[in-house]
């Protein structure tokens, strides 16, 4: 099992004690996603918020191997097919098409961020913004992504969370923040939500990047 191999890897490289190793092994086998609670000291009002912790990072080869497991397709053929699909998707994105990544999963689409606003000159007079002053050359070309309502609802319904200590990373004893069968956590239902991260290239030689998150009815996210 991949979880056991990962735990053994951490044990040998991190010199963990037997007890901590067993706890880590149990934790890696669990299907719950870890999260930690962080204090916000920078912005008023004072608050705490939850941050999801990735279980790990899978490579393209890992996913292709898993997808081909039990199928009459080798991992090599799976990689070739998916690679060709992604090449076609990139070509069509550049041509301006919305491109699906799987059925009822993700959709990529081209986006441009360019705008002008009213400004003041040296004498304090208002320089009124007009449509002809908007220039794509000064904008930010981006690839945006939307998550399907179906998958967002499925994720919210099936995901389970486990709070861990922000310092040790071990599960917090007595934690009751568990997702139930109705897809609720802490009494709130999350449906049609998603997050996205990514970057875009700004004409004129500069590069911009950003992250975004949101919820509510499969709202589109820029990446």
Q: Is residue 1 in some structural domain?
A: no
pLDDT digits (tens, 9 = 90+) for 3-20: 445 555 554 555 555 555
Among residues 66, 55, 145, which one has the least CA distance to residue 102? Answer: 145
Q: What is the DSSP letter of 108?
A: E
Q: Is residue 7 in some structural domain?
A: no
Q: Is residue 6 in some structural domain?
A: no
* Residue ranges, the chain, pLDDT below 70: 1-30, 175-223
Given this model, what pLDDT does residue 211 score? 37
Q: Are residues 132 and 207 in contact, defined by beta-carbon separation less than 8 angstroms?
A: no
Given this model, what pLDDT does residue 150 score? 95
Q: Is residue 23 in some structural domain?
A: no
Q: Is residue 9 in some structural domain?
A: no
Q: Is residue 28 in some structural domain?
A: no
Q: Is residue 12 in some structural domain?
A: no
Burial environment of residue 31 by CB neighbours within 10 A (0 to 12, 13 to 18, 19 or more)? exposed
Q: Is residue 218 in some structural domain?
A: yes
Parent domain of 95: 33-222
> How many angstroms separate the CA atoms of 127 and 119, rounded?
5
Q: What's the mean pLDDT when you consider all of the chain?
A: 77
What is the CATH number for 110? 4.10.520.10
Given this model, what pLDDT does residue 24 score? 57
> How many angstroms separate the CA atoms of 104 and 148, rounded?
5
Given this model, what pLDDT does residue 32 score? 87
Given this model, what pLDDT does residue 183 score? 44
Q: What is the tally of structural domains in the chain?
A: 1
């Amino acid at each position: 099992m991949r979880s056991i191999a990962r735990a053994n890897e951490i044990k040998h490289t991190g010199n963990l004690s037997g007890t901590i190793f067993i706890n880590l092994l149990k934790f890696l086998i669990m299907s719950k996603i870890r999260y930690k609670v962080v204090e916000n000291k920078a912005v008023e009002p004072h608050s705490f918020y939850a941050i999801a912790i990735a279980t790990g990072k899978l490579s393209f080869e890992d996913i292709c191997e898993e997808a081909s497991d039990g199928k009459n397709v080798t991992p090599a053929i799976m990689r070739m097919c998916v690679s060709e699909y992604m090449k076609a998707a990139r070509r069509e994105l550049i041509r301006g098409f919305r491109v699906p990544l799987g059925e009822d999963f993700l959709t990529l689409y081209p986006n441009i961020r360019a705008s002008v606003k009213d400004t003041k000159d040296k004498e304090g007079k208002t320089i009124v913004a007009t449509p002809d002053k908007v220039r794509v050359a000064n904008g930010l070309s981006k690839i945006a992504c939307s998550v399907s309502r179906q998958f967002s609802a499925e994720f919210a319904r099936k995901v389970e969370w486990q709070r861990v200590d922000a310092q040790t990373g071990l599960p917090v004893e007595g934690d009751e923040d568990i997702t139930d069968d109705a897809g609720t956590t802490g009494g709130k239902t999350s449906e049609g939500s998603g997050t996205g991260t990514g970057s875009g290239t700004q004409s004129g030689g500069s590069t911009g990047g950003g992250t975004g998150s949101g919820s509510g009815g499969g709202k589109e996210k820029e990446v």
